Amino acid sequence: VIGVDWGTTRCRAYRLCGEDVRDYRESELGIQHVEADAFGRALQSLIGPWLVDGERQVLLAGMVGSRQGWRETAYLPCPVSTDDVARALVPIPYPDAVVLLAPGVSAADGTGVPELMRGEEAQIFGADIERGSVCLPGTHSKWVRVEERRIVEFSTYLTGDVFAALRDHTILRRSIREGPDEFTAFDAGVSRASDPGGLLHHLFGIRALGLAQRLTDVAAGSYLSGLLIGHEVGAAVQSARPVHLIGATQLTGLYARAIVARAAWT
Amino acid sequence: VIGVDWGTTRCRAYRLCGEDVRDYRESELGIQHVEADAFGRALQSLIGPWLVDGERQVLLAGMVGSRQGWRETAYLPCPVSTDDVARALVPIPYPDAVVLLAPGVSAADGTGVPELMRGEEAQIFGADIERGSVCLPGTHSKWVRVEERRIVEFSTYLTGDVFAALRDHTILRRSIREGPDEFTAFDAGVSRASDPGGLLHHLFGIRALGLAQRLTDVAAGSYLSGLLIGHEVGAAVQSARPVHLIGATQLTGLYARAIVARAAWT
């Protein structure tokens, strides 16, 4: 079986054998870089050699099932299990292989505002989590509650997206220079997030601390990261513990730091 | 007397006679558009005709006193009165006129993070407010507490700056099109700000409501504005009432709407 995590900016393909990954290929042909009639060719360029080698089943998950993707699939309302997803897979005509496209997952946050997910559900089911809170940090972080291996509710935070916009397109750009993570500054940002005043006020503090020469421009990037992640974690961490983190090592490491700090205060 | 409000992006000059404005001139020669050695010429281009006409005293306030301005002046720590400012004016050599540059004002928000102000203090003293809370909405909104006509403390919110960055440089740009203010959507954003989940979560809702076709792209801009102003007002409005609003009519009107809505909940 070939599993493909096909997102907005990247496309990642896994050649699977049971629970093992036999091979892995990645390309920058995220859906925003693929013309509407070119999805088949884009897939072929990535997994063609594996098809020649005999693979015949392909599962696609992620933004490839969105309106801007190959074909739009429905959103399954929570609670959602792997069986629910399996029943809702959409076949796509393709030469020499059975290609199945996964649905999305939807929820409401209790206030009537919809929640949407495409792709993270595959990572959650793949991690085989029985119960608890699952955090998938990123451009649009997801916090997901899992019970009896089903996704029962979730919330999205625009954290990574907001980080890049604030760093590059506000007055803060004059106070921030890219550099390695500085954990002391990151922790100070996380801690600041629990002060009164709210995020919009805390953000100005980065500029003010820079002008007062109490925060270097390299440390300011880590402080901003800690501030945003601190606000996210503070809003998202509920009584549901443990928190499972799914993602790349650097980012999940920072989230773990913020979650531990938050737990120490409460 | 000539009063000049010289900010980052614009320069506004007022020819005053007692409390009346006899004449007004504005230019786009904000400090970010003026070379370090060209401030004298920039001022001359704006107020030259008034000097020819006999004016001899010029008061400058705003970012022109910052490190990137004509000359850096100190920050006076709160509490600050008009007399304190008058005593700290810095003379700048200038042919045919006495030019005095105002200091800035600084405060601490109780958590050790500094607060800085350059120019808003002139607007507050000009409004002759005896006591209460003063809100100056804008790119970097200020909320100022005034007692016995002195500025005793203040907080800054990055609201306007963040609004532009989010609208133009995150996923929300796909959900937002410029258009006239839509008050229903603005009010919905203000109301949303009081829900649990925090700003980073509420922001994603704009994208989700758009995808669900429950928020048009023109209304989404007003919703984002209401959401951010609602978060700012929710954090800033304390027991100190009344709130005095200083600024342009459209923006102060929106803030008044948000403050009234917030007062109705609490």
User: What tens digit of pLDDT does each residue of B84-135 get?
Assistant: 999 999 999 999 899 999 999 999 877 889 999 999 999 999 999 999 999 9
A74 touches chain B (CB under 8 A): no
Residue B243 Cα, gap to closest chain A Cα (Å): 17
Instruction: Sort out which chain B residues have CB atoms less than 8 A from A67's CB and list them.
Output: 211
Verify whether the Cβ–Cβ distance A203 to B228 is below 8 Å: no
Instruction: Sort out which chain B residues have CB atoms less than 8 A from A109's CB and list them.
Output: 197, 201, 205
Select the residue of B157, B165, B200 nearest A228 (Cβ to Cβ): B200
Q: How many CA atoms lie within 13 A of A48 on its CB side?
A: 7
Long-range contact list for A17-25, CB < 8 A, 24+ apart?
A23/A50
Q: State the pTM of this model.
A: 0.92
Verify whether the Cβ–Cβ distance A109 to B197 is below 8 Å: yes
pLDDT at position A79, please? 97
Residues facing A108 on adjacent strands: A114
A115 touches chain B (CB under 8 A): yes
Verify whether the Cβ–Cβ distance B200 to A113 is below 8 Å: no
Instruction: Quote the tokens at residue A194.
Output: 């629990």
A195 touches chain B (CB under 8 A): yes
Residue B97 Cα, gap to closest chain A Cα (Å): 32
Instruction: Quote the tokens at residue B33.
Output: 């558009």
Instruction: Sort out which chain B residues have CB atoms less than 8 A from A220's CB and list them.
Output: none
Task: Provide the residue type at B121 as one letter.
Answer: E
A159 touches chain B (CB under 8 A): yes
pLDDT at position A225, please? 98
Distance of CA A56 to the CA centre of its chain: 29
How many residue pairs bridge chain A and chain B with CB atoms within 8 Å of each other?
138
What does residue B72 show for φ and ψ, rounded to 5 degrees?
-80, 125
Select the residue of B203, B205, B214 nearest A162 (Cβ to Cβ): B203
Cα B35 to Cα B44: distance, rounded to the nearest angstrom: 14
Residue B191 pLDDT > 90, yes or no?
yes
Instruction: Sort out which chain A residues have CB atoms less than 8 A from B109's CB and list them.
Output: 197, 201, 205
A203 touches chain B (CB under 8 A): yes
| CA nearest neighbour of B250 among B228, B216, B225, B219 | B225
pLDDT at position B144, please? 96
| CA nearest neighbour of A67 among A29, A32, A115, A109 | A32
What does residue A149 show for φ and ψ, rounded to 5 degrees?
65, 15
Parts of chain A with a pLDDT under 50: none
| CA nearest neighbour of B180 among B219, B134, B125, B138 | B219
Residue A64 Cα, gap to closest chain B Cα (Å): 16
Residues facing A11 on adjacent strands: A6, A27
Q: Burial letters for A181-208: b for 16+ Cβ neighbours within 10 Å, e otherwise?
A: bbeebbbbbbbbbebebbbbbbbbbbbb
Residues facing B76 on adjacent strands: B105
8 A C-beta contact, residue A102 and residue A59:
yes
pLDDT at position B108, please? 85
The pLDDT-based confidence of B266 (bands split at 50, 70, 90) is: low
A116 touches chain B (CB under 8 A): yes
pLDDT at position B140, please? 93
Exposed / middle / buried, residue B133 (Cβ in 10 Å: 0-12, 13-18, 19+): buried
ipTM of model: 0.92
8 A C-beta contact, residue B172 and residue B224:
yes
Verify whether the Cβ–Cβ distance B170 to A165 is below 8 Å: yes
Average pLDDT, chain B: 94
Instruction: Sort out which chain A residues have CB atoms less than 8 A from B231's CB and list them.
Output: 198-200
pLDDT at position A264, please? 72
Cα B243 to Cα B254: distance, rounded to the nearest angstrom: 14
The pLDDT-based confidence of B237 (bands split at 50, 70, 90) is: confident
Instruction: Sort out which chain A residues have CB atoms less than 8 A from B67's CB and list them.
Output: 211
The pLDDT-based confidence of B239 (bands split at 50, 70, 90) is: low
pLDDT at position B240, please? 52
Mean per-residue pLDDT for B28-34? 93
Select the residue of A115, A161, A199 nearest B208 (Cβ to Cβ): A115
